[in-house]
Amino acid sequence: MDLLELGLTNKIVSELTGLGKNTVKDIDTERFLKKYTAAGKHLKKPDRQAKYLGVDEFLLHRGR
């Protein structure tokens, strides 16, 4: 069972497994590279494109 795939944070996985935070981060980075890149260099094209793009208006106008 992959704890990172379940949506647990790196900190929680680190505490549960006893591994260091940097080790869990390296494992998570490698997982993302395998999942979203081809040969670790080029991003894979998604299976489908997003239909809508959302914008958080509150942060858009923050400090302006």
Structural domain includes residue 53: no
Residue 45: what pLDDT? Answer: 85
Find out whether 4 and 31 touch, Cβ atoms under 8 Å.
Answer: yes
**C-alpha dihedral (9, 5, 2, 44), degrees to nearest 10:** -120
Q: What is the pLDDT of residues 16-62, one digit of tens each?
A: 999 999 999 999 999 888 888 887 788 888 888 889 988 766 665 66
pLDDT at position 11 over 90:
yes
Structural domain includes residue 9: yes
Structural domain includes residue 58: no
Structural domain includes residue 15: yes
Structural domain includes residue 57: no
**Segments forming the whole domain that contains residue 38:** 1-43
Query: How many domains does one find in the chain?
Result: 1
Structural domain includes residue 52: no
Give which of 45, 4, 33 is closest to 21, Cα–Cα. Answer: 4
